[in-house]
Amino acid sequence: MKASSLAVAVLCCAAALAAEAGEPPQDFVRVSPRDRRYLELSDGTPYIPIGLNAIAPRGGNLSSMEDWFRNLSANRGNFVRIWLSNPYFDIEHARSGEYDGQKARRIDELLALARRHGIRLKLCLEHFRALESGQSWATKPIHHVSNGGPARTMAEFFESPTSREQFKRKLACYANRYGDDPIVFGWELWNEVNAVQGNVNVLDWSAVMLAELHRLFPRNLALQNLGSFDTPRVNELYRAHSLLAGNDLAQVHRYLDLGARIEACRGPVDLLAIDAVRTIQSYDPAKPILLAESGAVEPGHTGPFKLYEKDKEGIILHDVLFAPFFAGACGPGHIWHWDVYVARNTLWHHFDRFAQVVDRLDPPAEAFQSVQIPHQRLRVLALRGKNTTLLWCRDMQNNWMTELRDGQAPATIQDMPIQLPDGWEASAAKARFFNPWTNRWTEGPVAAGRITPPPFSRSMVVRIDR
């Protein structure tokens, strides 16, 4: 490293954080030793990551992000994913291997903002896909040898010892500055690493760098992710990625995409989420799963979904939140279009609606089993635990196609009993019903294993505490 590079690197790696407001959390997020399908804090408190992707601020300052964090926190959200490689935060932007202390101070401000609002951050370290030609947002020419970088191709960037050692130095820089900070949910190596240009063994590089993350950040989660699971050809790659040593969560990205090759990605959003979680579960049923990116796009990811404009009620967001958790994920799904969909349509209340359902719930203690209960009109997903049973009841005749595309108002479901499986809730006297569209809780009896929800549209949640 040149002397000038070293000076900037030392500035970046100074082990002093910016002044912080608020009461910082003391406990780290970890995979629960009580049930490794779920998360908890290091003091044993259950932790369900309720939030979204909000990659970087809009307009060149943190004011927009302050608004997003405030709205999310006000609705009991506790999680946001950030790209540290976005130009606003990117410490390595002028020359390969040189780290900008001013950009590092922006990250300090980000972490202080998260503390003020009680939000833990998943920090994604890189996202570029090419060194020379490619989309401007996904090209990083500073790493090419012609610009003083260590590589001629993306394959060389991932595989050469020189490039790997340089990337490890960057991880060490972050570790020196933020390596013992519980506001960090986890460190994520690369956004959609399989989308990089060329024939690259991304899993080998990921295994090496996940081990380095565990060494440098022993109290934080270490993570990796792949591109959208929208074609059958990535099935085996997703399997290997989910089983990768050191990859603490099995993350999956999947969107509603009418250009996708997998049929589930073109249909109801709850089904695409359920199918994604269950596919990942088939690789390792004992690993925590997150639908880490979801939402809706124009065909082939050519832009945000045009029907977002009509989704003033947030039916896509609702399905992204609820379906994965009830299918067995360790949290709700995390929507992508935080600005042009969630913020623009003022849909923040949906995070509170999910948070109400899981209030005072301890998933690791419940040993939940995810079961689908047959019903003639409703898709009923049940989480049956030791002390609590949760049901999410989704009208199978209502989805984005009927409501947003065709303009059909959701029907009212009434006098539609649900028969629980034999032996369920034999001692329970009552159930609580939550309508997430009206924000109202009511109660009703459990009689001979049968419950009858009050009238509702779209979906209803049932909670039975024994």
**Whether 202 contacts 194, CB under 8 Å:** yes
The 10 Å Cβ neighbour count of residue 324 is: 29
Q: Which of 281, 308, 291, 307 is nearest to 255 (CA)?
A: 291
Q: What is the DSSP letter of 309?
A: G
Q: Cα separation of 435 and 433, whole Å? A: 7
- Tell me: pLDDT of 180 over 70: yes
Predicted local distance difference test score (pLDDT) of residue 351:
99
**pLDDT tens digits for range 270-287:** 999 999 999 999 999 999
Predicted local distance difference test score (pLDDT) of residue 407:
98
3-state secondary structure of 107: helix
Mean model confidence pLDDT for the chain: 94
Predicted local distance difference test score (pLDDT) of residue 426:
63
**pLDDT tens digits for range 33-91:** 999 999 999 999 999 999 999 999 998 889 999 999 999 999 999 999 999 999 999 99
**pLDDT tens digits for range 308-324:** 999 999 999 999 999 99
Domains, the chain, ordered by start: 3-365 (3.20.20.80), 369-465 (2.60.40.1180)
Provide CB contacts within 8 A for 188, sequence distance 6+. 81, 122, 123, 124, 125, 223, 224, 225
**Whether 436 contacts 353, CB under 8 Å:** yes
- Tell me: pLDDT of 13 over 50: no
Percent pLDDT > 90 in the chain is 90
- Tell me: pLDDT of 250 over 80: yes
Predicted local distance difference test score (pLDDT) of residue 21:
38
Mean pLDDT of 216-227: 98
Q: Higher-confidence residue: 37 or 25?
A: 37
**pLDDT tens digits for range 417-457:** 999 999 887 667 799 999 999 999 999 999 888 999 999 99
Least trusted range by pLDDT, from 15-19, 76-80, 103-107, 129-133: 15-19
Total H helices, total E strands in the chain? 12, 21
Predicted local distance difference test score (pLDDT) of residue 18:
35
Tell me, what amino acid is at 216?
Answer: L
- Tell me: pLDDT of 121 over 70: yes
**pLDDT tens digits for range 369-414:** 999 999 999 999 999 999 999 999 999 999 999 999 999 999 999 9
Predicted local distance difference test score (pLDDT) of residue 427:
66
Predicted local distance difference test score (pLDDT) of residue 333:
98
**pLDDT tens digits for range 359-370:** 999 999 999 999
Q: Which of 271, 189, 195, 173 is nearest to 223 (CA)?
A: 189
Predicted local distance difference test score (pLDDT) of residue 8:
40
Residue 160, judged by CB atoms within 10 A of its CB (0-12, 13-18, 19+), counts as middle
Pairing of strands 418-419, 430-435: unpaired
Main-chain dihedrals φ then ψ at residue 413, nearest 5 degrees: -95, 125
